[in-house]
Amino acid sequence: MPLISRDIPIRVRYNETDQMGIVHHSNYIFYYEVARTELMRSLGTTYREMEERGVLLVVRDVHSHFIAPAYYDEVLTVRTSINEVPAVKVTFDFEIFNARGELIHTGQVVLACVDKQTRRPKRAPEWFVNMLAE
């Protein structure tokens, strides 16, 4: 059971597709970013606020698993979850569903918490960890 999970709708735009009308693989990383940002916003914070409070979130790992294609003008649902209490890293898991509710893609992004001044890894701030428990 995830600590927190949100569903974010994203409509596939024409410029995100190839000549066959299928979402180009590189765009899934952008979908992760949009969904991650909206999950943070739903918790009551933003990347900007974290940065202003001295924490940068730096991409450490990205994984994508393609199951079926997504198509131009389709409304996808990107389910974004945090499944474990963050320490120095925060792991976001993604499931992407097509308009029929079929799972078409899974992914994961691991972010490292970094001190804005020193650029050294640091523990996730207590206020952020506490937001996940609410």
Q: Which residues are catalytic?
A: 18
* Three-state DSSP string of 13-52: CHHHECCCCEECCCHHHHHHHHHHHHHHHHHCCCHHHHHH
d(CA 76, CA 127): 31
112 torsion bin: left (phi>0), alpha (psi -120 to 50), beta (else) = beta
Q: Distance between CA 95 and CA 23 in Å, rounded?
A: 16
